[in-house]
Structure 1
Amino acid sequence: MTLTDAIKRTVTEKLQQSSTIAKDEVLESVENIGGGCISDAYLCTSSNGKQIFVKTCESSPKQTLDEVVEMFGSEAKGLKALDDTHTIRVPTPYVYGALDNDNYGFLAMEYISLGSKYGASGVQRKLGEQLADLHLAKGPGQFGFECDNTIGSTPQVNTWCPDWIEFLRRRLAYQFDLASSRYPQLNKPAQQLLDKLDTYFEGLDIRPSLNHGDLWSGNWAVDDNDNPVILDPAPFWGHSEADLGIMKVFGGFDSNFYDAYHAKIPKEPGYQKRVNIYALYHTVNHLNMFGSSYLSSSMSLLSQILQ
């Protein structure tokens, strides 16, 4: 069975079972529309003209089929959590599982026709306002998430914790431990940061905010009505400033975004060093995934934080 046939058969069956499509409706066309470093993407069209976005990922010696399905399950739960806040648009997840060919996992979700975010009037301001609304949405009284997920290809443990600093310390330590043998020059400053992490949060009352978790410039877009859409999340309930860390690393967000965001969630003392800490989490993660090209930026951030 070809991959296209497996998508048509398995995803049709799952969508019918979930009542996303009618019992007599089937996926008729499957068009490969690219993908990222982990998954491939397909635009599927049903016999009634409904468009479905499907991501697939092949199992490998490094990632079993069960692990692929678990990855997509985590993504579906993350999308639903974001969607449930009714603050910013995300694709609604439909179904996930394993394709009939036994080698691929899949996630089917709402297809959103995307326009150009460059030049769209007021879209950065809207994104700032809506991200702040997401961070202000009412949530649980602790930090973490209902399931573990991944940040890129790196596991991201989301075990619930009542204390943000402890949760963050565990998360940073995990990345530092992964890097320690290949990049020993990180070890001393990284330990210094972990030892004094509390000092960067003195006087703050941190409430759990739902973070997208991986909001770089490639993970947001606009729909046909110039409304922001956020994609490919790695969510958790954490400090509202945490989402701003990866934005600092990769840029793409202008003053209209930050002005609108901070009008709803003002900066607090020590903001810049904390954002550097959150940025460091992502640069070390990229160091672990992609190698030494991210060593300099990681060392520079550590130096700025500790000075």
Structure 2
Amino acid sequence: MLPDQPVIPMLSSLLQQLGLHPTRVSPVHGGDINQVFKVFKGDQAFFIKINEAAAFPGIMEKEARGLEALRIESLFKIPAVEAVGEWQGLQWLLLEWLTPAPRQTDFWKRFGEALAHQHLLKQSAFGWTEDNYIGRLPQSNRTHANWTDFYIQERIRPLVQVLVDTKQFSTEMLNRLEKLHAVIENEFPTEAPALLHGDLWSGNFSCTGDGYPTIFDPAVYAGHREMDIGMTQLFGGFDSSFMDAYQFYYPLENNWRKRLPLTQLYPILVHAALIGGHYVNEARSIIAAY
């Protein structure tokens, strides 16, 4: 977060530099690591998030590129990137404002169809063109030819190592990863890499005024599509008709529910590293179960 100082005057100066000349700036509820605002220029509205440039280097530009990747052929309404950059120690991301609205009767059908369509946009390798972030944590996206190597080396092992280094895991947990590697290799169906949102929980989607689902705050990478599905089932907030629609357009392979603990291990490890508490025990239990 930004240091204690008048943020809106700083933001107004930044917007003036961009030539936006706002008529009103209002804080928006819900920012986690960033401060977020709704900016008015006459009747037109924009969304802007800002942070210190040194706090999470490059996080705004990486998010902007992730959003642009998701916008390609998307059935979701993805907010357009208006501008992104740094100014006087700040980094900022200016987006199209999408007015939230109550969900219509076909919202979840549209959501399931849109996610299935996104996952059908196959990618060339597991990983991404650059590292990025999931929440406050750096996310390694070094590419791999197969899912198991990517998941263990770029997702699970780094966070298990963090928990070992902070004395929340014993070193035995690192030794268990060889067995977990074999389990993942045997359990996950072989599929081409899919374009993933990467952090698809209920706080990162909404409904627009025209009834379309919108997704935002991504942690984009190319991975196994069941990772996004696992996130939708982890913290709640997704109606069962969402899965019905997804399954209609792009059916999951058999036993996908059995694999949920494996897909949810990564976000649970993220929470364990950031928050600790019961998430540490949950992650330990999943790993120990195999």
TM-score, with length taken from structure 1: 0.84
Asked if 1:123 is matched to 2:107, the reply is yes
Asked if 1:79 is matched to 2:79, the reply is no
Instruction: Tell me the amino acid that sits aligned with residue 156 of structure 2.
Output: L
Counterpart position of 1:242: 227
Instruction: Tell me the amino acid that sits aligned with residue 96 of structure 2.
Output: E
Question: Paired residues, what number?
Answer: 283
Asked if 1:153 is matched to 2:157, the reply is no
| Secondary structure of 2:28 counterpart | strand
Residue 195 of structure 1: how far off its partner (Å): 3.0
| Secondary structure of 1:26 counterpart | coil
Q: Which has the higher helix share?
A: 1
**Is the 1:215–1:247 Cα contact (8 Å) retained in structure 2?**
yes
**Is the 1:246–1:279 Cα contact (8 Å) retained in structure 2?**
yes
Q: Distance in 1 between matches of 2:239 and 2:102?
A: 16
Counterpart position of 2:260: 275
Residue 273 of structure 1: how far off its partner (Å): 4.0
Which whole-Å deviations, capped at 9, do the CAs of 1:228-249 have from their partners, x for residues lacking one?
Answer: 1111111101111111222222
Counterpart position of 1:295: 280
- Residues 1:303 and 1:116: Cα distance change in structure 2 (over 3 Å): farther
Instruction: Tell me the amino acid that sits aligned with residue 279 of structure 1.
Output: Q
Counterpart position of 1:259: 244
Matches of residues 83-162 of structure 1 in structure 2 within 5 Å?
83-100=71-88, 102=89, 104-117=90-103, 120-139=104-123, 141-162=124-145
Instruction: Tell me the amino acid that sits aligned with residue 249 of structure 2.
Output: K
Matches of residues 176-195 of structure 1 in structure 2 within 5 Å?
176-181=160-165, 182-185=167-170, 187-189=171-173, 191-195=175-179
Counterpart position of 2:204: 219
- Residues 1:11 and 1:208: Cα distance change in structure 2 (over 3 Å): farther
Q: Distance in 1 between matches of 2:183 and 2:168?
A: 26
Q: Distance in 1 between matches of 2:30 and 2:243?
A: 29
Counterpart position of 2:15: 11
**Is the 1:200–1:273 Cα contact (8 Å) retained in structure 2?**
no
Q: Which of 205, 213, 217 matches 1:228?
A: 213
- Residues 1:190 and 1:87: Cα distance change in structure 2 (over 3 Å): farther
Instruction: Tell me the amino acid that sits aligned with residue 8 of structure 1.
Output: S
User: Considering only aligned residues, what root-mean-square deviation do their CA atoms show, in Å?
Assistant: 2.2
**Is the 1:121–1:226 Cα contact (8 Å) retained in structure 2?**
no
- Residues 1:193 and 1:244: Cα distance change in structure 2 (over 3 Å): farther
Unmatched segments (≥5 aa) in structure 2: none
Instruction: Tell me the amino acid that sits aligned with residue 87 of structure 1.
Output: L
Q: Distance in 2 between matches of 1:303 and 1:122?
A: 41
Residue 109 of structure 1: how far off its partner (Å): 0.5
Residue 205 of structure 1: how far off its partner (Å): 2.7
- Residues 1:197 and 1:214: Cα distance change in structure 2 (over 3 Å): same
TM-score, with length taken from structure 2: 0.89
Identity of aligned residues (%): 27
Instruction: Tell me the amino acid that sits aligned with residue 3 of structure 1.
Output: V
Q: Distance in 1 between matches of 2:173 and 2:159?
A: 14
| Secondary structure of 2:113 counterpart | helix
